[in-house]
Amino acid sequence: MERMRHTPKRKASRRTVDQLLTAATKDTDAASVFWDGSCNADSDRAIIVIKGRAHCDYVIEMLQRQNLLTAGKDVETAKPVRPQP
């Protein structure tokens, strides 16, 4: 797991999706987590990169079963949702 700064001072190598995907490919785990924040107190968002089609399918199905993901919903036009406590 790696923490990303929640400010414009993010590492230059962690500013774009392509850079995160490149960093994830260097990780030997099936999942790479990039936290948005600099400490545990502000870690309410993260980008998780799942590698491998079977792992992706498994995680997506699990998220749908837990009602954390809606199949077919367009992320670009979705309204923001408040995090659940």
If you count DSSP H runs as helices and E runs as strands, how many of each does the chain have, helices first?
Answer: 2, 3
Whether residue 81 lies inside any domain: the answer is no
Q: State the total domains in the chain.
A: 1
Whether residue 36 lies inside any domain: the answer is yes
Task: Collapse the DSSP code of 50 into the 3-class scheme (helix H, G, I; strand E, B; otherwise coil) and give the result.
Answer: strand
Whether residue 83 lies inside any domain: the answer is no
* Average pLDDT of the chain to the nearest whole number: 79
Whether residue 52 lies inside any domain: the answer is yes
Whether residue 15 lies inside any domain: the answer is yes
Distance CA 60, CA 68 (A): 9
Question: What is the reported pTM?
Answer: 0.68
Task: Collapse the DSSP code of 19 into the 3-class scheme (helix H, G, I; strand E, B; otherwise coil) and give the result.
Answer: helix
| pLDDT at position 6 | 44
Q: How confident is the model at residue 70 (pLDDT cuts 50, 70, 90)?
A: confident
User: Comparing C-alpha atoms, which of 67, 64, 72 is closest to residue 84?
Assistant: 67
Q: How confident is the model at residue 8 (pLDDT cuts 50, 70, 90)?
A: very low
Q: Which domain range does residue 17 map to?
A: 2-65
Whether residue 80 lies inside any domain: the answer is no
pLDDT digits (tens, 9 = 90+) for 11-37: 666 678 888 999 999 999 999 988 877
Q: How confident is the model at residue 57 (pLDDT cuts 50, 70, 90)?
A: very high
Structure-model confidence comparison of residues 69 and 82, the more confident one: 69
